[in-house]
Structures are given as C-alpha cells and as structure tokens.
Amino acid sequence: MTSDKIYYALGLHMHQPPENLKLLIESNEWEAQQIIRCYERAARYAHLYKDVAYFHVGFSGILLEQFTDKDIIDKYRKFVDIPKMIEMYRTAKNIEIIGMGFYHPIFPLIPKDDWSEQLRMGADIADELFDQRPVGFWPSEMAFAMEMIPALREAGYEYVVVDHVHVKPVIESNKLDYFKPYKAKYGSSEITVIPRNRDLSNAQESGLNPSWFLNEVNNKIKDCPNTDKARLVTTWSDGENGGWFRQIDEKAGFFGYFFAPLMDMVKSKEAHISPIRISDYIKKYPAKEEATIQTGAWNVGSTSGYDFRQWNGSESQKRAIDTLFKASQKYWELEKNKNKLAEYKKWQLKRARKLLLDAETSCYLFWGDAWIPKIYDKLNEVNKLLQ
C-alpha cells in the first residue's frame, strides 16, 4: 500500500417498500428467507468480528417499521428471531447506524415541505430501535442535491454519503481525491461529504475477494492525489439484493467469502487497512477542502446516475410526481388552518399525511408502470380525505 494510513468505511443499504415483507412471506417464502437472513447476517458478523470490524448499516424507516409488526415477527420466526436481531444491532458497538428518509423518497423529486418530516421520522425510528441516533445520512438511491444540505443539518446530520462521480472540487485546478471527505456549503449550512467509490462499490455488490480488493485499492490510491495522507476507502451497496448477498451458503456469499477473510487478514496484519466508523474518521481527519455536488443518483440498470431518468424519465412517472406535488400542496393548505377543523377532520388530515408520505416511496417510481398505480392508490385516498 502507498500510505500507511488506509482506513476502510464499509456500508450496507437496507430497504423494503411498505408491506413488502408481508407480501414476500405470503407469495415467495424462499425469497423472503433469503432477504431476512441478510439483515440478521450483518449483525451476527459484526459480533463475530467485534475486535476488528467496523461498518455502517442504513435501514429505511419503513423497513424498520415492518420489523416491529407482530404479524411479520411471527411469520418470519421460522427463519430469524427479529426482536433478537434488533437487539444484536443495538449491542453491536462496531456498527454505525445510518439515517435515511423514512419512506425512502427521492428527495429532489418530492416537495421540499415534506423533507423535514421524512428526515425526522427516519432518524426517530432508528434511535428508538437501536438506541443510536444517526449522524450520517444515506440519500435514497444516492439521489442528492445541494439544496438538501440545510434540511440535513437541521435534522442533526453531520455527514452525507454521495457517489464520487458527482463530487467536484471548488478549486477547479484540483484533481478529485475520492479517498478523503470534503465539505459542501449551501447558503449558511455546511456538511461533510463522504465520496463513495463507485467502482469498488459495484464490485462489492456483484462479488469480489479480499486479494483483488486490496490490490485494487492500492492501484486506485496511486492514481489519486495526496497518496501520503490518510486515505478513507468508502464502499457502499445494497445489502440484501442479488445472489451474492442472498446466498444461504454463507461461505459462498459476501460475508463468508469476502468480509470474514478480509477481517481475518486485518486481524493478522496481513492487510494494511483499518476498518473505521466514518464519524470517528472525520473527527480525526476533518474535511478541509470544499466541493460542490452535482445533482444526481447512483447508477442502476442502464442509467448512469447523472440524472433521475430511472425515476422521472417517462411521462407516466412525471405525471405521478406532478399529482404528488398537488396533493402535498392541498395538504399543507389545510394543515395551516387545522385548528379550525372538527376533530374527525383532524384525524382525516393525519391519515392523509401518512398516506402522502407513503406515496413518496422511491420504489413506486423505480419500477415504472408496474408500480406507479400504487402512488395513485395512496393519493386517491389522500384526496378523498382532504375534501
């Protein structure tokens, strides 16, 4: 390795849309088993390597809410004891819990008036279940815009993870260093930005081994500026999607084939890389250089992530988003005068609010025409309640 101060921030993103755990266990028990074991496995391996491993796990609020459903707990008990799993996360001091919007929304594509509640609810349920209020934020689908910075800071977030391809140093002559944090400013608000390396993260999602990973890190560090400085290698991917993570045979999957052998190499000092919590790293090496973050998301399917085409590229997606904005506007008009409403109408307003935020779930847009009707199912009921 070029530097003797190479730190490793591993992250896993976990999400299921509303009611999906129930749908899975009732319609495809094999897939349900694969997915629920992914959540338990991360906590268990954190305990197995508590003397050497540090990593990050982010859960959408709606997934955590499903974990607390008694019916879900009972139906999944044959595979995983969900309350015991939650306790394992709570007691794993080497896992840094990462925050998300509660319903996993694409923030730049939903009304700004709804941002604060999505952020607060997401942080609240993580704090409630894990006794750890998140200070790091994962934007759903890595969809980020600089306008989000004030809302993130107001919600208590100290850093945000973004795809490195969108990070642009303010001093244009400076080459991007994706192995260090930057600071980003919007108005009077400032936040630390953690570049997630896209290439290494794509490998993490599809399959890799420790030797290849260490060699690739070494090669990429040589091509980056500041090779003699402390390096923060950040990788992040879904933690329950694809056969690599869902392998029932753990020795053939992410944790058995890559994570455990790498941690063994770290323990024996064969690998000169140190796992670390991002919150600890930025205290030790605070961001000094400023960057701007281009609006964009991560690459999914055939899209590059330089726009939101996966979520708003079709006319049907755009119409659904427009309908969502109109429903939100109607809600806020009534919310401002709710003290004048009868009690049963206040209940209707509260019910409409929950459905409205639910309709902002990114999955409804991601799957296009197959799932867009779910948005209208929610919003039709919202509009009835708001009449």
The range of the structural domain enclosing residue 199 comes to 6-293
Please enumerate in sequence order all residues whose Cβ is within 8 A of that of 45, keeping only pairs 6 or more positions apart, or say none: 53, 255, 259, 260
Same-domain check for residues 279 and 340: no
Please check whether residue 226 lies inside any domain of the structure.
Answer: yes
Closest by CA to 331, choosing from 178, 95, 135, 110, is: 110
Same-domain check for residues 90 and 208: yes
Please check whether residue 251 lies inside any domain of the structure.
Answer: yes
Same-domain check for residues 332 and 247: no
Same-domain check for residues 230 and 347: no
For residue 219, what are its two tokens?
A: 């090669």
Q: Express each pLDDT in 151-194 by its tens digit.
A: 999 999 999 999 999 999 999 888 999 999 999 999 999 999 99
Closest by CA to 122, choosing from 12, 235, 14, is: 14
Give 105's strand partners: 361
Please check whether residue 299 lies inside any domain of the structure.
Answer: no
Q: How far apart are CA 120 and CA 217, in angstroms?
A: 36
pLDDT surpassing 90 at residue 39: yes
Q: Express each pLDDT in 105-153 by its tens digit.
A: 999 999 999 999 999 999 999 999 999 999 999 999 999 999 999 999 9
Phi, psi of 194 (to 5 degrees): -110, 110
| Global confidence as pTM | 0.95
Please check whether residue 1 lies inside any domain of the structure.
Answer: no
Please check whether residue 301 lies inside any domain of the structure.
Answer: no
Residue with tokens 């910075």: 149
The model's confidence at residue 1, banded by pLDDT at 50, 70 and 90, is very low
Same-domain check for residues 38 and 126: yes
For residue 180, what are its two tokens?
A: 């260090």
Which residue among 293, 324, 345 closes a domain? 293
Q: Express each pLDDT in 274-295 by its tens digit.
A: 999 999 999 999 999 999 999 9
CATH of the domain at 263: 3.20.110.20
Give 13's strand partners: 58, 238
The model's confidence at residue 4, banded by pLDDT at 50, 70 and 90, is low
pLDDT surpassing 70 at residue 3: no
Domain count along the chain: 2
Give 159's strand partners: 136, 192
Same-domain check for residues 278 and 323: no
Please check whether residue 114 lies inside any domain of the structure.
Answer: yes
List the end-to-end C-alpha distance of the chain, in Å, as a whole number.
Answer: 64
Same-domain check for residues 102 and 228: yes
Please check whether residue 329 lies inside any domain of the structure.
Answer: yes
Same-domain check for residues 182 and 231: yes
Please check whether residue 246 lies inside any domain of the structure.
Answer: yes
For residue 281, what are its two tokens?
A: 């790293």
